[in-house]
Amino acid sequence: MPLTPLRALPLALVLAACGPDTGDDTGAPASTGDPSTTQHSTSGDAPTSGDASTGEPSTGEPVGVTYYRDIKPLLDARCVQCHSAGNIAPFALTTHAEAAPFAAMLSAAADAGTMPPWPPDPACRAYAHDVTLTPEQRDLLREWTELGAPAGDPASEPPGDDTPGDDVVYDVELQLPAPYLPTITPDEYRCFLLDWPKAEDTFVTALDVVPGERQIVHHVITYAIEPQDVDAYHALEDADPDPGYVCYGGPGASAESVYRVPWLSAWAPGTPGGAMPAGTGLRVQPGSVIAVQMHYHGLPGAKADQSKIRIRTASKVDRPAVIMPFTNLDWVLGSEPMHIPAGDPDVMLSHELDITPYLTFLFPKGPFKGTEPFVVHAAGTHQHTLGTKNKLSVVRKGGTGDECLLEIPRWDFNWQGTYPFAATATVHPGDRLRLECHWDNSAANQPVVDGVQQPAKDLGWGEGTGDEMCLGMLYVTAQ
Ligand code: HEC
């Protein structure tokens, strides 16, 4: 089904319209080495109860797995960025006293693959910054649990860097204009506008969020509002008596202004450093404002938040990038409405399209010159709360086989991300992007409001929490 330029426009609208979107860094976090990866081998090499052959110095330290020598480095590398005091996870794992009582639970979550949160299916593709635990790390947690979670000798803790690496040097720092305490529970989506300080065209090559009140900051999505739309956005802000303005769907309220909104990044707790793939960056014009959508998950006793955004800029990059939304416009525009019938426990919808002929319509300011291959560096998908799984892939021209870009086998609205690829994928003219989404719209899977489970109803495309979506997002450059 061919796209006309006119029909192509709302695609960007859709992208901007699904507020609580990716939970990860759109901009493909730094490809610089992750010290926690090195940590694996430290942990993995540590002697375990069945292996005393590694010649541990005679400190009287037990040979079996201990907290200080084996478990603390693992938890520090993979868990404490969320599991620490005042942070988003419900309990801390920073000391032996905190971790030991949970040993069996930690091991079970590790074995089940539910912690740390990392939704992509590894069988689909390899990603940079994959945080899933190695089999050796899981073994360590299991053996530690079986031994009764011993502390061991504090002196045996391996030296070294426990914090996830981020050697990016940021040159722009923007802070929310005022401390804000969310008033809508349990979730509030609020946008703030921050002036963009650069006087010439600039590329964003890294973006990181420094949450103010970690306990309540669930997602932060950052958009660059182009100069011609800035007044309309300030009007939204002026109309809201509190700092910023309420924005569930995206950063804007009117279709005319929203369809041009370019994404810069999406961040969630635990996201490693925010560098985009080397040599690439997203263009921001002078006179733009940065709209920041905060997803606050309220907790009693939380303090006001005043998060910061840190940005690294460059005056030019080798390959300007864009964030390309991918979905079926017929679902969006209603010409072939998305239909998710009430009562069906596994509704599947899919869409395939050779997108290359439309790239210049979608991105009139570049970087594409015509029908030419494009390169995908990172991908994310988006559904709302009844989504169960989704997959984004490339169907090769001539039936030479599909290339999986991203598969989320257990969709969880709370852990959305955009995942940087370990190796890029090139899409050629004639190749088709393919997106597939599944939903459980059975009676048993409906939301509970005030203690009452709601009846199942037919669902379609929309921006509200009671609507659904099926959307792919790709961080793309020209070849
Ligand atoms: C990105 C943030 C994040 C990271 C990293 C993380 N957790 Fe969690 N964890 C959470 C949150 C939030 C919860 C509360 C339940 C939920 O929202 O899923 C949780 C809950 C848990 C639970 C109880 C619920 C369950 O799923 O069993 C365990 C056990 C757990 N985490 C273990 C770990 C371990 C072990 C690690 C490191 C290997 C880890 N977590 C890393 C955020 C995180």
pLDDT in tens, 146-184: 999 999 999 999 886 544 455 789 999 999 999 999 988
> DSSP letters of 30-79?
--S--HHHHHHHHHHHS--TT--TT---SSS--SS--IIIIIHHHHHHHT
Ligand 1, atom 35: closest residue by C-alpha: 106
Distance of CA 342 to the CA centre of its chain: 29
CATH of residue 267: 2.60.120.310
DSSP code of residue 226: P
Ligand 1, atom 11: closest residue by C-alpha: 89
Residues with pLDDT less than 70, the chain: 1-62, 160-166, 248-250, 253-261, 271-273, 463-465
Task: For residues 112 and 222, state if they share a domain.
Answer: no
Q: What is the pLDDT of residue 200?
A: 96
> What does DSSP say about strands 319-326 and 280-284: parallel, antiparallel, or unpaired?
parallel
Q: Which atom of ligand 1 is nearest to the CA of 116?
A: 41
* 427 CA from centroid of ligand 1 (Å): 36
- Whether residue 56 lies inside any domain: the answer is no
Task: For residues 382 and 425, state if they share a domain.
Answer: yes
* 50 CA from centroid of ligand 1 (Å): 29
Of the three residues 293, 318, 343, the one that is the final residue of a domain is 318
Q: What is the pLDDT of residue 465?
A: 63
* 68 CA from centroid of ligand 1 (Å): 20
Query: Distance between CA 441 and CA 249 in Å, rounded?
Result: 22
Task: For residues 176 and 274, state if they share a domain.
Answer: yes
- Whether residue 145 lies inside any domain: the answer is yes
Q: Which atom of ligand 1 is nearest to the CA of 88?
A: 12
- Mutation probe of ligand 1 site: the residue of 39, 74, 75, 83 with most atoms within 8 A of C-beta: 83
- Whether residue 309 lies inside any domain: the answer is yes
- Whether residue 106 lies inside any domain: the answer is yes
Q: What is the pLDDT of residue 249?
A: 58
Task: For residues 363 and 243, state if they share a domain.
Answer: no
* 90 CA from centroid of ligand 1 (Å): 8
Q: What is the pLDDT of residue 40?
A: 36
Task: For residues 213 and 147, state if they share a domain.
Answer: no
Query: Distance between CA 87 and CA 213 in Å, rounded?
Result: 8
Task: For residues 129 and 182, state if they share a domain.
Answer: no
Instruction: Give the Å distances, CA to CA, from 228 to 193, 232, 233.
Output: 15, 9, 10
CATH of residue 341: 2.60.120.230
Task: For residues 41 and 25, state if they share a domain.
Answer: no
- Whether residue 53 lies inside any domain: the answer is no
Q: What is the pLDDT of residue 414?
A: 74
Query: Distance between CA 438 and CA 126 in Å, rounded?
Result: 23
Task: For residues 287 and 352, state if they share a domain.
Answer: no
* 145 CA from centroid of ligand 1 (Å): 17
What domain range is 42 assigned to?
A: 35-46+61-156
- Whether residue 229 lies inside any domain: the answer is yes
Of the three residues 283, 301, 318, the one that is the final residue of a domain is 318
Instruction: Give the Å distances, CA to CA, from 176 to 88, 192, 302.
Output: 20, 7, 17
- Mutation probe of ligand 1 site: the residue of 39, 79, 87 with most atoms within 8 A of C-beta: 79
- Whether residue 52 lies inside any domain: the answer is no
Identify the CA nearest to 224 among candidates 198, 248, 187.
Answer: 198
Task: For residues 143 and 187, state if they share a domain.
Answer: no
Ligand 1 pocket (Cβ < 6 Å) reads: 78-79, 81-83, 88-90, 105-106, 109-110, 114-117, 133, 269-270
Query: Distance between CA 313 and CA 377 in Å, rounded?
Result: 19
Handedness of CA 464, 465, 471, 477 (dihedral sign): positive
Q: Which atom of ligand 1 is nearest to the CA of 81?
A: 5
> DSSP letters of 429-459?
TT-EEEEEEEE--SGGGS-EETTEEPPP--B
Q: What is the pLDDT of residue 363?
A: 85
How many domains does the structure of the chain reveal?
3
Structure-block tokens of residue 111? 């074995």
227-245 per-position pLDDT tens digit: 988 998 999 999 999 999 9
- Whether residue 295 lies inside any domain: the answer is yes
Q: What is the pLDDT of residue 390?
A: 98
Of the three residues 156, 178, 208, the one that is the final residue of a domain is 156
Measured CA angle at 420 (ends 416, 426), to 5 deg: 120
